[in-house]
Chain A
């Protein structure tokens, strides 16, 4: 059964890595619903948040292929329920609509949106929320004439108290140390 999954990949910051990762989706003809590249809580480590709508089996396979890339430290997949997530949307409407009646102002209040900028020609509104919520506001604004609209990629964090990666990095450091000591043992034997 197809459903929405959020894939998060933690990686070294490396030119071209984004390309390497998106190729994995292209090759399997899986559409990327949204993608966000960002810094993580850990210095020097980037985080990609990718939203896809597909079967679990395929998502698991893709997550492993992402993790296989040399610069990727770890990749996780989650269902929407397992994460707290938001998207941000910006809407540009004619200021005249705001002046003509209070309906537009009420709509903005109802949706908990806020006005970023008002000029004589246009007004820019901002709303954060889930896709359905930002879409709802868009639908409400259509009658006033939406001059421009944009929605960001998803940002998401897990419900656990710390970034999963910090735990992972501790284990990774221990593993690398073990590898190193085993290697020096081998070379000293020679």
Chain B
């Protein structure tokens, strides 16, 4: 072994150089690995944007311009009704009236009927944004060859109408309004059910529970384990308990509300509440732990009871932290899909949810549904829906960061 220690200056320098070179190589490897993470984010976002905008080839039986001088979207219900009556064949008119009288239909409904039955607006082919920007010649050639009757238009799949329209079997007429409202109502139910319990549990564990008692340790361990349970298992639990066992309550039947199944917003919200409960508890515990002991001592020293100390001093101090953690938990809930499939979110529903006992759809469910359809154009609206979802998530996170920063400034 001794012979291996060769400290001759020349070879020593050589070895050192080599060691540094290896160090530099690995440093670049580590950096590249880190860059992959960022690259993945960039590619992911651009893939979605790429799908949400681009040229489409549109075919229509009737040119909208021949129906009215004004763009059809801007017409009033009365004008739409007139056009429909003038252009719809008797048979089709009767069929439409059978579903619902024209008189009773709203503006949006009439517009959809007009586009569907008269104009017969159909997107026969869509191209991605990158192709639209860089390969316009190819698109024009393909269009001329395969869709000679179609008109080429640049379409933003994500548009104000997309947010206002409801579900449709035709991608160009589909929108996310119902899903968006379903998601909002769902999140509302989730917060109402999980936040008070979560804060309560965190207070108990941090302020009351003696770690010497086995049951307190069991609660703590259990919460940590629950945080790692796959969301689909929560879905199975929700299906078994809220949808089936408690179906009478979650369907509203027990309250005299006519309903079919327990596959309601209430069931989904409670399931989602259970799912984010451990996250809320763990975050709230951290926030409560961060309140200085000296503050509690000061209050106890004045002869306050434990609850007085918690209510007047600990909770107000911990609140920003608790809220930040809750917002992060909510952003997890907004994107969760699997549990909603299990508790039975409807994939095709055109009426807005009206309350806790409504059947519903939600944004991620809609994305899932559209993604798995074979037609390409559904993937375009799935992309647009993803953008809506991501904007909602990012604004929530930004909100959380603002709360955190404002709180930091205050305490300094």
A binds B: no
